[in-house]
């Protein structure tokens, strides 16, 4: 099954992490992609900082363009990947090893991709 | 509900008592014994827990209606299986015509690939096939309330109405919770299987926690009397037995079964005429010695596996109480030592509160109160915290503060029997 994994973090908390620790985590994240290459499908991306986000929103007087991300939450989406694994347990096992989960504020959301024939809402 | 039909599953509150109530009890036991297996088998052959579970739930409703009038058929399992298969086929047919309608409307839906064929692996022959179902229902990707509701329906064969009453929820909310949980299992690729060694202990703990919640939920029904809702506790005890029998090498499974047996053994002394009796005041001759013997045997079996854990420690504490001829003869130091060990496995506020009570009972009420006060904020919204605090304050001669704490506790409890107990203490 294919899942999108979305990496979220709190930029304020990340900013407090010492640079050398951050460097170490980036190195391990790079390794993580190498070790798990077989399970990671093409199409993932790391995103530019949240300050670069632009959002289009519904409004009664027509769509508006606003500066900033879609949500007011402190946590922001930092990137995403598509993984192809047998089932949710395999996805959880893979994501559990993501090095940045050692940092406060980090989260990884796992969502199955809707495919033709998916058991989705009726 | 009166005490006489309390043992029957409260399927129909208006059911007359006497013979019908007794046959209701029999009905629910028969249904419970069969339905989980049928759900598991049907889910495997259809590749859909949603359809299988729905079909069995419908069959259970039909059975409860039909059997109450016409009696239980000679082979109830075959009856339920057939009814469930029929319902499942019906549902598949409806879904197929729905899919075909959809296909005519636009591209994209392929009914053949509806479920991955390998999504429901055959469970190994020696394993009770309800276990994979149970682990799927208690998957950590589901919220605890959803785990509980789905387990009660898919594994224990309760109806939505029964679950709603037992968990102090409404029928529509319960139904929606179950539907969402099943959809999530189907859509996100949660497999019905017993996890392998790396995840086994953590996942088993979730399952055991749900069974324990099931047991205590039976005593917490708002507005309920102490004996009125024995049945969910009975389901929990039954399920703990199923798990321990299916996973005989898992020490914690025996530990939980032992714990629930100890609790069950004290039940008739714990509630007398609908009134709650504290352990120290219980008539110990009313404790069920047969259940205590079984509980001890389970605990010993767990100990032989040499893998201690929190459920075994909880059970060991219960054993200390069961061993004492009178409340005064309880080995209180042993209880405290066991709580100290338990905190290593389970440092939750409730365990720390119980340890504080043990501390008081070895003669350290001041230290106990310090511990209890340290839990302020974490447990302030539970009546138990205020009740324990009231008891300690009274011990220390701070009667005015004790009364205030008891009144707080009274405000926070929704269970009638607990209310009366606290009311007696506050003189209201």
DSSP code string of B61-110: HHHHHHHHHH---S-HHHHHHHHHHHHHHHHHHHHHHHHHHHHHH-S---
Same domain flag for B264 and B310: yes
Q: How far apart are the first and last CA of chain A?
A: 20
Highest mean pLDDT among A86-100, B19-33, B150-164: A86-100
Torsion of the alpha carbons at B344, B348, B351 and B356, rounded to the nearest 10: 90
Determine the Cα–Cα distance for residues B287 and B285; give it in Å rounded to an integer.
Answer: 5
- The reply to whether B70 falls in a domain is no
Q: Do the domain assignments include residue B17?
A: no
Q: How far apart are CA B221 and CA B6, in angstroms?
A: 13
Instruction: Look at residues B308, B333, B358 and tell me which one is the last residue of a structural domain.
Output: B333
| pLDDT, position B224 | 52
Nearest to B113 among A92, A110, A117 (CB): A117
Whether A92 and A85 have beta carbons less than 8 Å apart is answered as no
pLDDT at residue A22 above 80? yes
Give the helix ranges, DSSP H, for chain A. 11-15, 19-35, 88-96
B359 and B325 share one domain: no
Contact B189 A121 (CB under 8 A): no
Among B333, B364, B392, residue at a domain's last position: B333
- Chain A closest-CA separation from residue B256 CA (Å): 25
Q: What is the CATH number of the domain that holds B360?
A: 1.25.40.10
Residue B101: band (very low, low, confident or very high) from pLDDT cuts 50, 70, 90? low
The last residue of one of the domains, among B309, B333, B357, is: B333
Whether complex ipTM tops 0.95 = no
- For residues B252 and B329, membership in a common domain is answered with yes
pLDDT of residue B81: 94
**B389 in a structural domain:** yes
Which residues touch B251 (CB under 8 Å, ≥6 apart)? Answer: B302, B303, B305, B306, B307, B308, B309, B312
- Kindly tell me the burial class for residue A77, based on how many C-beta atoms sit within 10 Å of its own C-beta (0-12, 13-18, 19 or more): middle
Q: Which residue has the higher pLDDT, A117 or B181?
A: B181
For chain B, percent of residues with pLDDT exceeding 70: 84
Does residue B39 lie in a domain region?
A: no
| CA–CA gap between residue B236 and residue B238 (Å, rounded) | 5
Please indicate, yes or no, whether residues B287 and B352 belong to a single structural domain of this protein: no
The distance between the two most distant Cα atoms of chain A, rounded to a whole number of Å, is 50
B28: confidence class by pLDDT, cuts 50, 70, 90: confident
The band of B219, judged by pLDDT with boundaries at 50, 70 and 90, is low
What's residue B13's pLDDT?
Answer: 41
CB within 8 Å: A88 and B190: yes
State residue B37's pLDDT score.
93
Which residue range(s) make up the domain with B409?
Answer: 348-428
DSSP assignment string, B125-173: TTS-THHHHHHHHT-TTS-HHHHHHHIIIIIT---HHHHHHHTT--HHH
Q: Which residue has the higher pLDDT, A71 or B294?
A: B294
Tokens of B157: 């064969």
Does residue B424 belong to any structural domain of this protein? yes
Query: Which residue ranges form the domains of chain A, and what is each CATH number?
Result: 2-112 (3.30.70.1060)
Cβ atoms within 10 Å, residue A26: 12
Helix (H) or strand (E) holding B369: helix B365-374
Residue A92 at interface with chain B, using a CB cutoff of 8 Å: yes
* pLDDT over threshold 60, residue B12: no
- Confidence label for B197 from pLDDT (cuts 50, 70 and 90): confident
Q: Decide if B269 is inside a domain.
A: yes
What is the residue-averaged pLDDT of chain B? 84
Kindly state the tokens that stand for B182: 């099943």
Which chain B residue shows the shortest CA-CA distance from A84?
B189
- Inside any domain, residue B27: no
Confirm whether B323 is domain-assigned. yes
Could you report the per-residue pLDDT of B316-344, keeping only the tens digit for each? 999 999 999 999 999 999 999 999 999 99
> Nearest-CA distance from A58 to chain B in Å?
27
Q: How many domains does chain B have?
A: 2
Same domain, B421 and B359: yes
């Amino acid at each position: 099954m294919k899942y999108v994994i979305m990496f979220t973090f709190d930029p304020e908390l990340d900013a407090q992490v010492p640079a050398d620790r951050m460097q170490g985590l980036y190195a391990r994240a790079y390794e993580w992609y190498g070790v798990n290459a077989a399970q990671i499908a093409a199409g993932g991306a790391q995103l530019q900082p949240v300050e670069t986000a632009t959002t289009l929103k519904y409004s009664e007087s027509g769509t508006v363009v606003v500066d900033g991300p879609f949500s007011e939450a402190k946590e922001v989406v930092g990137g995403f990947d598509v993984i192809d694994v047998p089932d949710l347990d395999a996805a959880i096992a893979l994501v559990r090893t993501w090095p940045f989960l050692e940092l406060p504020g980090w989260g990884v959301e796992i969502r199955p991709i809707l495919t033709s024939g998916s058991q989705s809402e009726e | 509900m009166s005490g006489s039909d309390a043992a029957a599953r409260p399927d129909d509150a208006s059911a007359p008592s006497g013979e019908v109530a007794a046959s209701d009890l029999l009905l629910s036991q028969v249904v419970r014994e069969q339905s989980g297996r049928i759900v598991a088998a049907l889910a495997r052959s259809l590749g859909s827990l949603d359809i299988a579970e729905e079909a069995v739930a419908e069959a259970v409703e039909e059975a409860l209606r039909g059997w109450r009038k016409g009696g239980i058929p000679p082979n109830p399992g075959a009856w339920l299986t057939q009814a469930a298969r029929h319902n499942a086929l019906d549902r598949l047919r409806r879904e197929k015509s729905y899919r075909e309608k959809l296909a005519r409307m636009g591209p994209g839906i392929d009914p053949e690939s509806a479920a991955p064929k390998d999504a429901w692996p055959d469970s190994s022959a020696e394993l009770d096939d309800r276990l994979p179902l149970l682990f799927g229902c208690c998957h950590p990707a589901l919220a605890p309330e959803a785990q509980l509701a789905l387990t009660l329906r898919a594994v224990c064969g309760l109806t939505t109405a029964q679950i709603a009453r037992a968990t102090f929820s409404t029928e529509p909310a319960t139904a929606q919770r179950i539907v969402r949980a099943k959809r999530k299992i189907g859509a996100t690729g949660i497999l019905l299987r017993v996890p392998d060694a790396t995840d086994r202990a953590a996942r088993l703990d979730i399952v055991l926690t749900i069974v324990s919640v099931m047991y205590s939920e039976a005593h917490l029904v708002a507005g309920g009397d102490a004996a009125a809702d024995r049945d969910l506790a009975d389901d929990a005890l039954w399920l703990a037995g199923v798990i321990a029998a299916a996973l005989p090498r898992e020490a914690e499974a025996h530990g939980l079964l032992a714990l629930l047996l100890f609790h069950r053994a004290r039940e008739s002394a714990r509630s007398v005429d609908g009134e709650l009796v504290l352990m120290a005041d219980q008539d110990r001759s009313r404790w069920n010695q047969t259940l205590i013997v079984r509980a001890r045997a389970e605990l010993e079996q767990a100990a032989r596996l040499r893998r201690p854990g929190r459920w075994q420690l909880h059970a060991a504490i219960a054993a200390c109480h069961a061993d004492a001829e009178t409340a005064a003869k309880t080995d209180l130091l042993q209880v405290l030592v066991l709580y100290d060990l338990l905190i290593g496995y389970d440092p939750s506020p409730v365990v720390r509160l119980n340890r504080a009570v043990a501390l008081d009972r070895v003669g350290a009420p001041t230290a106990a109160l310090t511990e209890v006060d340290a839990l302020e904020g974490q447990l302030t919204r539970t009546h138990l915290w205020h009740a324990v605090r009231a008891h300690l304050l009274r011990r220390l001669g701070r009667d005015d503060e004790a009364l205030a704490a008891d009144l707080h506790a009274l405000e926070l409890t929704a269970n009638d029997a607990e209310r009366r107990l606290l009311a007696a203490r506050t003189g209201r």
